Amino acid sequence: MTATDLFETMRTMRAMRRLKPDPVPDELIRQILEAGLCAPNGGNFQKWRFLVLKDQAVKQAVQVLYKRAYDETIGPRYATAVPPPGVSPERYARQHAAVEYLTEHYHEAPVWIVACLEDGANPSRVAGASIYPAVQNMLLAARALGLGSTLTTRHALYAAEADAAMGLPAGVHSYAILPIGYPMGKFGPVGRTALNEVVFAEKWGVPYV
């Protein structure tokens, strides 16, 4: 892959929340997992663990929690929020519709990769630094392979119940679930704010140009 290909992959890695139920070849999932293992992590201790889930009953049990979180927290927040920076009201409405779709069809994604850490009973606030780089690598790999996914963490609103439903042992916690499948839509430019609105030079509040 050239540098141009890499930057184009990042620029067009939309969150794909509408996924086809078609099976995904195991060799592609392996490639995605291998990309995750290339990521940096604290001290290279590699406390990450990845659970590949296809079991419909397990996914359905987590989807119930995922939907409960939407009904109680996420849905009302979306309904009253203004569009985020760089996103038009029309695009935000489409995003909301896609979030609703994923909520209802979460368990139908053919493969889940559950990103976990062996982090003990009381993980620190920096624990995610040892798993989220791997998550990003896997998202990029999925995009490069023509597969859709999105970083989901909503199940963590019911973390204990969700981790139990997935059979995680004590001292292991899920930090993200990546539902993976062939996308119904097309990849395209992501909607983000302008660089000079979020990057400062030397002093806080001084725009970077």
CB 113 within 8 A of CB 177: yes
Mean pLDDT of 194-200: 90
Predicted pLDDT of residue 22 = 96
Answering whether pTM is above 0.85, one says yes
Predicted pLDDT of residue 85 = 82
Helices (H) and strands (E) in the chain, counts: 7, 3
All domains of the chain, ordered by start, with CATH?
A: 3-197 (3.40.109.10)
CA–CA distance, 147 with 141 (Å, rounded to integer)? 8
Predicted pLDDT of residue 4 = 61
Predicted pLDDT of residue 14 = 92
Higher pLDDT among residues 50 and 42, named by residue? 50
- In 128-206, at which residue ranges do the beta strands (DSSP E only) sit? 172-180
Taking the chain, what is the end-to-end CA distance rounded to the nearest angstrom? Answer: 29
Q: How confident is the model at residue 83 (pLDDT cuts 50, 70, 90)?
A: confident
Phi and psi at residue 160, to the nearest 5° = -60, -45
Please state, rounded to an integer, the average pLDDT across all residues of the chain.
Answer: 93
C-alpha distances in angstroms, 77 versus 66, 69, 73, 74, 204? Answer: 15, 11, 6, 5, 29
Q: How confident is the model at residue 2 (pLDDT cuts 50, 70, 90)?
A: low
Q: How confident is the model at residue 203 (pLDDT cuts 50, 70, 90)?
A: very high
Nearest by Cα to 137 from 24, 4, 13, 2: 13
